[in-house]
């Protein structure tokens, strides 16, 4: 169905769901790597339990990110021409080099972080596993203090170098859309920044969901300090992403140029459910209040964790809707600014089924990577009773001597928060606020 005046060459939507996946997946990569850098560069110790998980998650998504884009091409092998015969004036021509450079950084950082573990596996495993880990060591089996200190310096350098690389990887995607002046919905200098902030938001949300699911599968307790730290960063970046996306529309409306009526009709008549219902409401407003609600210390730990996990899931859906509204929505506006096309969701050819497959594939690759390079090593998970200065979780048995430390901390100063005491079963529970 067509609305208004539409040129004949605008009836068919050329960039479909596969092109929607491309900026979505690259955004997950950039956001996940930023979380790793918060630990390795900025020393956010609460994120240690997901520091390795974030890197292998970034690698798993990074492998799949170009597949949707290449699958869209009628002749996929021609994609290599972008690197063999590049055009320096084309923004699209830079993707191969940016992607390759970033992939090298991620792989190198993972190898240096896991190098001691790979060496250990090569000595303890047998059969094909032993051979495989021996190959992964690349012959570097020095685990002396000097070698490990050098590894740490290299890891820090790669993490620092990876921050602008991650920003450039996804920022340039927004640059491509923002530089298309003929499209009223895309042509804005805010597009690269909007894409970058939504990428960071989606990457943090992905780690929240993946980390919680991994803990559930492994029957391990979620590190409360870690998930609350991700809650904080997700909430902060969500504010910036929301403000910029709203400012973009407000700026278009305030300018009142000739394209504004077409843009207004797009978001109010053509994609109102996807834009207002999913992208803004379910993907931003609801997670904003839910994340803030989950930070209330009066609530039980389980409720706060569930609220954070649900928020992460909603954010992932909202960012996917944002990518759809930008990529597909921008093509629905006719160049005449007097009509709209309509997008029909195909089932198979570049449709819903292969799109779901591309969304599941990174999770399968992540499971394989986690099996080969476990992101949780023995002793890495923080003991619950030592988080935030011997603050145990409700209902957890106390080790000998910890109760006295807890009581001393919370009853010896004027800034008391709780009184810690035990019940008949020797478990700690919070009492009334002082």
CA dist., res. 193 & res. 171, Å (int): 7
> Over the stretch 296-342, which tens digit does the pLDDT of each residue have?
989 999 999 999 999 999 999 999 999 999 999 999 998 888 888 88
- Does 415 have pLDDT greater than 80? no
Q: Which two tokens stand for residue 281?
A: 């409401």
Per-residue pLDDT, 183: 86
- Phi first, then psi, for residue 161 (nearest 5°) are -65, -30
Whether the pTM exceeds 0.85: the reply is no
- Does 401 have pLDDT greater than 80? no
Mean pLDDT, to the nearest integer, of 397-411?
A: 38
Q: Which of 382, 408, 424 is the last residue of a domain?
A: 382
> Over the stretch 99-135, which tens digit does the pLDDT of each residue have?
889 999 999 999 999 999 999 999 989 889 999 999 9
Give the structural domain span for 394. Answer: 383-434
> Over the stretch 60-87, which tens digit does the pLDDT of each residue have?
999 999 898 888 887 888 877 877 887 8
Q: Is 410 found in the same domain as 303?
A: no
Using pLDDT thresholds of 50, 70 and 90, give the confidence band for residue 404: very low
Q: Is 414 found in the same domain as 319?
A: no
Using pLDDT thresholds of 50, 70 and 90, give the confidence band for residue 406: very low
Q: Is 282 found in the same domain as 247?
A: yes
Per-residue pLDDT, 293: 95
Q: Is 303 found in the same domain as 411?
A: no
- 3-state secondary structure string, the chain? CCEECCCHHHCCCCCCHHHHHHHHHHHHHHHHHHHHHHHHCCCCHHHHHHHHHHHHHHHHHHHHHHHHHHHHCCCHHHHHHHHHCCCCCCCHHHHHHHHHHHHHHHHHHHHHHHHHHHHHHHHHCCHHHHHHHHHHCCCCCCCCHHHHHHHHHHHHHHHHHHHHHHHHHHHHHHHHHHCCCCCCCCCCCCHHHHHHHHHHHHHHHHHHHHHHHHHHHHCCCCCHHHHHHHHHHHHHHHHHHHHHHHHHHHHHHHHCCCCHHHHHHHHHHHCHHHHHHHHHHHHHHHHHHHHHHHCCCCCCHHHHHHHHHHHHHHHHHHHHHHHHHHHHHHHHECCCCCEECCCCCCCCCCCHHHHHHHHHHHHHHHHHHHHHCCCCCCCCCCCHHHCCCCCCCCCCECCCCHHHHHHHHHHCCCCCCCCEEECCCCEEEECCCC
Q: Is 330 found in the same domain as 194?
A: yes
CATH number at residue 218: 1.20.1630.10
Q: Which two tokens stand for residue 293?
A: 């609600």
CA dist., res. 351 & res. 16, Å (int): 8
Q: Which of 382, 402, 424 is the last residue of a domain?
A: 382
Q: Is 398 found in the same domain as 305?
A: no
- Phi first, then psi, for residue 340 (nearest 5°) are -140, 145
Per-residue pLDDT, 1: 58
CA dist., res. 302 & res. 306, Å (int): 6
Residue with tokens 């930070």: 295
Q: Is 306 found in the same domain as 356?
A: yes
Q: Distance from CA of residue 167 to its chain's centroid? A: 13
Per-residue pLDDT, 426: 39
Per-residue pLDDT, 12: 83
Q: Is 173 found in the same domain as 71?
A: yes
Per-residue pLDDT, 384: 39
Q: Is 221 found in the same domain as 133?
A: yes
Using pLDDT thresholds of 50, 70 and 90, give the confidence band for residue 208: very high
Q: Which of 364, 382, 400 is the last residue of a domain?
A: 382
Mean pLDDT, to the nearest integer, of 1-23?
A: 83
Q: Is 415 found in the same domain as 283?
A: no
> Over the stretch 212-259, which tens digit does the pLDDT of each residue have?
999 999 999 999 999 999 999 999 999 999 999 999 999 889 988 888
For the chain, the average pLDDT equals: 84
- Does 263 have pLDDT greater than 80? yes
Q: Is 415 found in the same domain as 266?
A: no
Domains held by the chain: number: 2
Q: Is 177 found in the same domain as 116?
A: yes
> Over the stretch 364-399, which tens digit does the pLDDT of each residue have?
999 999 999 999 854 444 443 333 333 344 344 433
> Over the stretch 173-189, which tens digit does the pLDDT of each residue have?
888 888 888 888 998 88
């Amino acid at each position: 169905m067509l609305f208004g005046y539409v040129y004949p060459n605008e009836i068919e939507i050329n960039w479909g769901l596969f092109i929607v996946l491309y900026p979505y997946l690259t955004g997950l990569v950039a956001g996940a790597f930023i979380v790793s850098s918060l630990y390795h560069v900025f020393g956010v110790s609460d994120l240690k339990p997901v520091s390795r998980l974030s890197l292998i998650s970034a690698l798993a998504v990074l492998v799949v990110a170009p597949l949707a884009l290449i699958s869209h091409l009628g002749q996929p092998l021609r994609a290599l021409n972008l690197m063999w015969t590049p055009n320096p004036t084309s923004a699209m021509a830079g993707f191969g080099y940016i992607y390759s450079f970033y992939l090298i950084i991620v792989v190198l950082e993972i190898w240096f972080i896991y190098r001691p573990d790979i060496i250990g596996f090569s000595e303890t495993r047998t059969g094909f596993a032993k051979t495989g880990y021996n190959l992964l060591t690349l012959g570097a089996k020095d685990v002396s203090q000097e070698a490990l200190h050098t590894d740490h310096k290299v890891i820090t350098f790669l993490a620092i170098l990876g921050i602008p690389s991650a920003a450039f990887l996804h920022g340039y995607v927004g640059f491509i859309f923002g530089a298309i002046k003929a499209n009223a919905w895309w042509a804005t200098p805010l597009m690269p920044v909007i894409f970058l902030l939504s990428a960071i938001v989606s990457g943090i949300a992905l780690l929240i969901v993946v980390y919680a699911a991994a803990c559930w599968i492994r029957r391990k307790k979620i590190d409360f300090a870690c998930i609350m730290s991700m809650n904080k960063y997700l909430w902060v970046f969500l504010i910036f992403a929301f403000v910029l996306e709203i400012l973009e529309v407000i700026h278009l409306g305030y300018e009142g140029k000739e394209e504004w009526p077409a843009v207004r009709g797009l978001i109010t008549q053509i994609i109102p459910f996807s834009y207002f219902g999913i992208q803004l409401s379910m993907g931003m407003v609801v997670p904003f209040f839910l994340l803030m609600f989950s930070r209330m210390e009066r609530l039980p730990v389980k409720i706060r964790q569930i609220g954070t996990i649900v928020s992460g899931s909603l954010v992932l859906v909202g960012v996917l809707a944002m990518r759809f509204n930008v990529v597909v929505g921008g093509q629905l506006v006719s160049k005449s600014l007097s009509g709209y096309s309509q997008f029909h969701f195909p089932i198979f050819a570049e449709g819903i089924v292969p799109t779901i497959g591309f969304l599941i594939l990174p999770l399968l690759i992540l499971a394989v990577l986690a099996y080969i390079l476990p992101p949780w090593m023995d002793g890495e998970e923080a003991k619950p009773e030592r988080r935030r200065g011997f603050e145990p979780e409700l209902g957890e048995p106390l080790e000998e001597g910890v109760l006295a430390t807890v009581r001393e901390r919370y009853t010896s100063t004027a800034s008391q928060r709780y009184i810690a005491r035990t019940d008949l079963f020797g478990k700690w529970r919070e009492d009334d606020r002082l």
